[in-house]
Amino acid sequence: MGKGVIYVLTNPSFPEYVKIGYADDLQKRLNQLNRSECLPFAFRAYCTYEVDGRLKDKDVHALIDRLNPDLRAIETFDGKPRVREFYAISPEDAYGILSSIAAISGTTDRLKKVDPAGHEIADEQTAAEIQDSEAGLYTEQYHLNNTTEHIRDLYAYFKDQIMKLPGMTAVPKKLYMSFRQNDVIIVSITLLASKLRAIINVPYGTLDDPQELVRDMSNTGHWATGDCQVSAADKTGVDYIVSLVKQICN
């Protein structure tokens, strides 16, 4: 049997916590956790520490609890305490705990940070934007104030066209405006210096793109939700974006 790992997992759904535990097969564990449809974002591994012997989660938790018993997330349900695998600690500090253990045992080569994939970076950015928007830090006017008259006019033209679609709402985010139909993200618009950049929320290859202007973003870290990017510098370009969006709207 291969060596298992102590892991530190993060999830943009609750950035104030990390999940710490042990797994014989980390990818299998991640697949189990991310199967739930109740989570808006997926867990990802922040770091791993390879160990020789098979452990139980409670062995790992007991060690951390001895170091600091106040970090563990504990809630009361039906009159009884429920102790979780979540710790109110930053991933950097969790890594620091494992780093100290590795240094004492002379096994620093077994401790590794895991580089996030492009979609994981995008999830973290999206979650941060949602928090900012909920805090009321960003508005549509915020975006309009930071661009040129030409782009403001182009955006107004786009919004006028897109809002004619049924059930469409505009939601301001930190770096773009998100347009949703019945609360489902359809397209996100970033107001740049000389053009509008749209991210359409469908897999690349889904859209009928006769002008071949859609760029595949499926393997590229980027802001906003979706794999299809297309830009417009004039009203003709905006009309093309709107025609693409209409393909996925009810």
Q: What is the pLDDT of residues 77-133, one digit of tens each?
A: 445 444 466 888 889 988 988 998 889 889 999 999 998 888 888 777 777 766 665
Write out the DSSP string of 40-67. Answer: SS--EEEEEEEESS---HHHHHHHHHHH
Distance CA 180, CA 167 (A): 8
User: Do both 102 and 54 map to the same domain?
Assistant: yes
Instruction: Select from 8, 224, 213 the least CA-distant residue to 127.
Output: 224
Local confidence band at 206 (pLDDT 50, 70, 90 cut-offs):
very high
- Domain extent, residue 201, equals 133-246
**Does residue 125 form part of some domain?**
no
User: Do both 138 and 208 map to the same domain?
Assistant: yes
Total count of domains within the chain? 2
User: Do both 165 and 231 map to the same domain?
Assistant: yes
Q: What is the pLDDT of residues 153-205, one digit of tens each?
A: 999 999 999 999 999 999 888 788 999 998 888 999 999 999 999 999 998 99
Local confidence band at 7 (pLDDT 50, 70, 90 cut-offs):
very high
Local confidence band at 38 (pLDDT 50, 70, 90 cut-offs):
low
Last residue of a domain, one of 86, 115, 144: 115
User: Do both 90 and 153 map to the same domain?
Assistant: no
**Does residue 23 form part of some domain?**
yes
User: Do both 146 and 220 map to the same domain?
Assistant: yes
User: Do both 73 and 15 map to the same domain?
Assistant: yes
**Does residue 86 form part of some domain?**
yes
Last residue of a domain, one of 115, 144, 168: 115
User: Do both 144 and 228 map to the same domain?
Assistant: yes
Mean pLDDT for 139-145 is 89
Residue 80 confidence (pLDDT): 47
Distance CA 201, CA 183 (A): 13
What's the predicted TM-score (pTM) here? Answer: 0.51
